[in-house]
Amino acid sequence: MADSAVNSTPVPFEGLSLQDIEVPMPPGVDWDFWLALLGWSLIGVLLVVFLLWVGRSYYVPIRLSRQLQSFQNAALKSSADRFVIDKSQLWSLYGWAKQLQSRLHPSEAETAEMTAFMEKLSRLGFSQAEVSRETYNELIQQARILLKSHSVLNLTRPVHLGLLNKDD
Protein backbone atom coordinates (compact mmCIF):
# COMPACT_ATOMS: atom_id res chain seq x y z
CA MET A 1 0.00 0.00 0.00
CA ALA A 2 2.89 2.19 0.54
CA ASP A 3 3.63 1.97 -3.10
CA SER A 4 0.12 2.99 -3.95
CA ALA A 5 0.43 6.07 -1.74
CA VAL A 6 3.57 7.20 -3.57
CA ASN A 7 1.96 6.64 -6.91
CA SER A 8 -1.19 8.41 -5.87
CA THR A 9 0.41 11.88 -5.92
CA PRO A 10 -0.90 13.72 -8.87
CA VAL A 11 1.57 14.38 -11.68
CA PRO A 12 1.24 17.87 -13.12
CA PHE A 13 -0.20 17.88 -16.59
CA GLU A 14 2.11 19.75 -19.02
CA GLY A 15 -0.70 20.76 -21.33
CA LEU A 16 -2.27 23.15 -18.83
CA SER A 17 0.85 25.31 -18.22
CA LEU A 18 1.34 28.60 -20.06
CA GLN A 19 3.70 28.49 -23.02
CA ASP A 20 5.24 31.27 -25.14
CA ILE A 21 3.29 31.51 -28.33
CA GLU A 22 4.45 34.02 -31.00
CA VAL A 23 1.83 36.15 -32.57
CA PRO A 24 1.64 35.24 -36.22
CA MET A 25 2.61 37.91 -38.78
CA PRO A 26 -0.36 39.52 -40.39
CA PRO A 27 -0.68 38.50 -43.99
CA GLY A 28 0.05 41.02 -46.72
CA VAL A 29 2.75 43.57 -47.51
CA ASP A 30 5.05 45.10 -44.94
CA TRP A 31 4.23 48.72 -45.78
CA ASP A 32 6.54 50.18 -43.12
CA PHE A 33 9.59 48.58 -44.72
CA TRP A 34 8.70 49.58 -48.27
CA LEU A 35 7.79 53.16 -47.35
CA ALA A 36 11.02 53.57 -45.39
CA LEU A 37 13.02 52.14 -48.30
CA LEU A 38 11.26 54.45 -50.73
CA GLY A 39 11.88 57.46 -48.49
CA TRP A 40 15.59 56.73 -48.03
CA SER A 41 15.97 56.07 -51.77
CA LEU A 42 14.32 59.39 -52.57
CA ILE A 43 16.59 61.18 -50.11
CA GLY A 44 19.62 59.49 -51.70
CA VAL A 45 18.60 60.50 -55.22
CA LEU A 46 17.95 64.09 -54.13
CA LEU A 47 21.35 64.19 -52.42
CA VAL A 48 23.12 62.99 -55.57
CA VAL A 49 21.27 65.56 -57.71
CA PHE A 50 22.15 68.30 -55.24
CA LEU A 51 25.83 67.31 -55.22
CA LEU A 52 25.92 67.30 -59.02
CA TRP A 53 24.32 70.74 -59.11
CA VAL A 54 26.79 72.09 -56.56
CA GLY A 55 29.65 70.57 -58.50
CA ARG A 56 28.50 72.15 -61.72
CA SER A 57 27.68 75.53 -60.26
CA TYR A 58 30.47 76.03 -57.78
CA TYR A 59 33.34 73.75 -58.72
CA VAL A 60 33.59 74.72 -62.40
CA PRO A 61 34.44 78.40 -61.75
CA ILE A 62 37.06 77.34 -59.21
CA ARG A 63 38.56 74.84 -61.65
CA LEU A 64 38.59 77.41 -64.47
CA SER A 65 40.27 79.93 -62.19
CA ARG A 66 42.96 77.40 -61.27
CA GLN A 67 43.53 76.67 -64.95
CA LEU A 68 44.06 80.36 -65.61
CA GLN A 69 46.59 80.47 -62.79
CA SER A 70 48.41 77.46 -64.25
CA PHE A 71 48.47 79.13 -67.69
CA GLN A 72 50.03 82.21 -66.18
CA ASN A 73 52.59 80.17 -64.22
CA ALA A 74 53.49 78.18 -67.34
CA ALA A 75 53.99 81.41 -69.27
CA LEU A 76 56.34 82.72 -66.59
CA LYS A 77 58.39 79.50 -66.60
CA SER A 78 58.34 78.98 -70.37
CA SER A 79 61.11 78.84 -72.95
CA ALA A 80 64.43 80.64 -73.01
CA ASP A 81 63.00 83.43 -75.16
CA ARG A 82 61.40 85.43 -72.36
CA PHE A 83 59.37 87.78 -74.54
CA VAL A 84 57.49 85.36 -76.80
CA ILE A 85 54.72 82.91 -75.93
CA ASP A 86 54.41 79.54 -77.66
CA LYS A 87 51.31 79.08 -79.84
CA SER A 88 50.33 75.97 -77.85
CA GLN A 89 49.91 78.13 -74.75
CA LEU A 90 47.70 80.50 -76.71
CA TRP A 91 45.61 77.59 -77.98
CA SER A 92 45.31 76.28 -74.43
CA LEU A 93 43.84 79.63 -73.43
CA TYR A 94 41.53 79.47 -76.46
CA GLY A 95 40.34 76.01 -75.36
CA TRP A 96 39.77 77.38 -71.87
CA ALA A 97 37.66 80.22 -73.30
CA LYS A 98 35.62 77.75 -75.36
CA GLN A 99 35.05 75.70 -72.21
CA LEU A 100 33.86 78.82 -70.36
CA GLN A 101 31.62 79.72 -73.27
CA SER A 102 30.07 76.24 -73.32
CA ARG A 103 29.27 76.46 -69.57
CA LEU A 104 27.39 79.74 -69.93
CA HIS A 105 23.79 80.38 -70.83
CA PRO A 106 23.55 81.27 -74.55
CA SER A 107 22.52 84.84 -73.74
CA GLU A 108 25.60 85.24 -71.51
CA ALA A 109 27.91 83.53 -74.02
CA GLU A 110 27.06 86.06 -76.71
CA THR A 111 27.88 89.20 -74.75
CA ALA A 112 30.07 91.83 -76.36
CA GLU A 113 32.96 91.16 -73.99
CA MET A 114 32.95 87.42 -74.65
CA THR A 115 32.74 87.75 -78.44
CA ALA A 116 35.49 90.39 -78.46
CA PHE A 117 37.69 88.16 -76.32
CA MET A 118 37.12 85.13 -78.55
CA GLU A 119 37.80 87.18 -81.71
CA LYS A 120 41.02 88.51 -80.24
CA LEU A 121 42.16 85.02 -79.27
CA SER A 122 41.37 83.52 -82.67
CA ARG A 123 42.99 86.46 -84.49
CA LEU A 124 46.19 86.03 -82.46
CA GLY A 125 46.09 82.26 -82.82
CA PHE A 126 45.73 82.22 -86.60
CA SER A 127 48.18 85.04 -87.28
CA GLN A 128 51.76 84.30 -88.22
CA ALA A 129 53.07 86.91 -85.79
CA GLU A 130 54.43 85.85 -82.45
CA VAL A 131 52.55 86.71 -79.28
CA SER A 132 54.40 88.65 -76.61
CA ARG A 133 54.31 87.76 -72.95
CA GLU A 134 52.65 91.08 -72.10
CA THR A 135 49.84 90.44 -74.59
CA TYR A 136 49.35 86.96 -73.17
CA ASN A 137 49.18 88.31 -69.62
CA GLU A 138 46.62 90.90 -70.76
CA LEU A 139 44.55 88.09 -72.27
CA ILE A 140 44.71 86.16 -69.01
CA GLN A 141 43.58 89.25 -67.08
CA GLN A 142 40.67 89.70 -69.50
CA ALA A 143 39.80 86.03 -69.03
CA ARG A 144 39.79 86.49 -65.25
CA ILE A 145 37.44 89.45 -65.61
CA LEU A 146 35.14 87.39 -67.84
CA LEU A 147 35.18 84.50 -65.39
CA LYS A 148 34.37 86.77 -62.45
CA SER A 149 31.55 88.47 -64.32
CA HIS A 150 29.90 85.14 -65.17
CA SER A 151 30.71 83.24 -61.99
CA VAL A 152 28.03 82.04 -59.59
CA LEU A 153 30.42 82.62 -56.70
CA ASN A 154 30.93 86.27 -57.54
CA LEU A 155 29.28 88.23 -54.75
CA THR A 156 30.56 91.59 -55.97
CA ARG A 157 28.48 91.48 -59.13
CA PRO A 158 26.00 94.38 -59.09
CA VAL A 159 22.52 93.42 -58.03
CA HIS A 160 19.84 94.72 -60.36
CA LEU A 161 17.03 95.53 -57.99
CA GLY A 162 14.85 98.60 -58.11
CA LEU A 163 15.40 98.99 -54.35
CA LEU A 164 19.06 99.89 -54.80
CA ASN A 165 18.52 102.93 -57.00
CA LYS A 166 19.84 106.08 -55.36
CA ASP A 167 17.92 108.53 -57.51
CA ASP A 168 16.01 109.83 -54.47
Asked if residue 101 is part of any domain, the answer here is yes
Residue 105 pLDDT more than 50?
yes
Asked if residue 25 is part of any domain, the answer here is no
Asked if residue 160 is part of any domain, the answer here is no
Asked if residue 165 is part of any domain, the answer here is no
pLDDT band at 155 (very low <50, low <70, confident <90, very high): very low
CB-based burial label for 65 (10 Å; 0-12, 13-18, 19+): middle
Residue 46 pLDDT more than 90?
yes
Question: Which position has the higher pLDDT, 116 or 105?
Answer: 116
What is 25-81 written as a DSSP string?
Answer: PPSS--HHHHHHHHHHHHHHHHHHHHHHHHIIIIIHHHHHHHHHHHHHHHHHT--S-
Asked if residue 2 is part of any domain, the answer here is no
Asked if residue 83 is part of any domain, the answer here is yes
Asked if residue 121 is part of any domain, the answer here is yes
- Give CA–CA dist 61/149, Å, rounded: 11
Asked which of 23-37, 99-113, 146-160 is least confident by mean pLDDT, the reply is 146-160
Asked if residue 112 is part of any domain, the answer here is yes
pTM score, whole prediction: 0.57
**C-beta separation of 112 from 37 below 8 A:** no
pLDDT value of position 17: 65
- Give CA–CA dist 53/126, Å, rounded: 37
Supply the range of the domain harboring residue 68.
60-152
Mean residue pLDDT of the chain comes to 77
Residue 149 pLDDT more than 70?
yes
Residue 48 pLDDT more than 60?
yes
pLDDT value of position 1: 52
pLDDT value of position 14: 65
- Give CA–CA dist 35/78, Å, rounded: 61
At 2-42, the pLDDT tens digits run 555 556 676 666 666 666 777 777 777 888 999 999 999 99
Question: Per the structure, how many domains does the chain have?
Answer: 1
Asked which of 9-18, 51-60, 138-147 is least confident by mean pLDDT, the reply is 9-18
